[in-house]
Structure 1
Amino acid sequence: MNKLQYFLLFSIVSIFCGNSNLSYAQETQQNDIIQGPFKTSLYPEGKIYFVKENDATPDDRCQMIAFMLEYKQDHIVKKEKIDEYEENGGCVEVASVFFDKIHNKPYIFVMQKWEHSFPPAIQMGSDSYEIRAYTKNKEGKLVIDADVSADPNFEGIDGIVDDDVNPERHYKYKTAADVKRYLKKKYH
């Protein structure tokens, strides 16, 4: 094999190896932002966003979603995972992120949604919702407010379920506007 043939063979092998590594890197890229970033008055120099955590195996169809906070403190950028949302009978999605105040204290609200579908022959399907409320604690850390998040109206099912008494359910708070109206009535 002469030098030209060796060079061509080496170039072709390098291209194939480089392309396969490149496509593998794209498939396994970590933590793509799926919502945000959003500015928040809780951290004027910061932002919140949501990422899919790509720790699932190839046969998993659902991935966890992480709620991330990024802010500057003493000229250093800090990143913190505030919460995680995971599969619950269906893949989780962040349906809405919105901001409001309760008793003049700023909050971040995150609405999670899970779609539950069944084979067409069963003709049932529903969506589950859960809303979590976050604010700063006494130490100045962004945390879930367990009391507000435990509000019974912050979770529900919308659709057809396997229940002979009440097979069709309608959840009232499927949008940020619905929840804000409810917050205004109950907490303001």
Structure 2
Amino acid sequence: MRETVVIVDGSEQPSTNLRDGLAQRWLILEPRLDDFTAGAEEQLAAAVGPLASGQYGLIGVSAGASVAIQHARRSPERVTALVLVAPLAIRPAGDALSGGATDLESSLGEIQCPTLVVFGQADTRVAPEAASIYRSRIPNCNIAFVYDAGHHIAAERPQALLNLVGDYLERRETFIVQNRSGAINP
């Protein structure tokens, strides 16, 4: 039986390439949430509960990252690996859009599973300083930057993202990006 990966995609451009590529190795669940604000984690837990037996990897894309973070914190016994792609969950101090992200930021240390946070090198919506916040707050956190990609990494560099995320989900604790397909990984 294939392992399960849950994707919470909060991007304006759906991460179809990522989902379809991962579906060749994992059983993919992509629950549709009403929004990505208060109550979204409860919707996710209710949607995933009956569908995913046992443990699973969890991917949060863009606005979906905050929901994925909350779910990983609240369900540590189920989430085996967390991947955040172009996460809008926290923003460095001084960012005009930082809003209420500080509560979520202060809880990052509660994440127990191996975590990969992926940023587009040219992302104008997420400051590069966010990487150091994730890295310093989440135990066992790896950071990756995808070159020649902005906020929509799945659309701009689909193969690089697929290779990166697939390798991480496969290895979890050991973060080694291999070049198996001939595509250059970031």
* TM-score clears 0.5: no
Asked which structure has the greater CA Rg, the reply is 1
TM-score after normalising by structure 2: 0.26
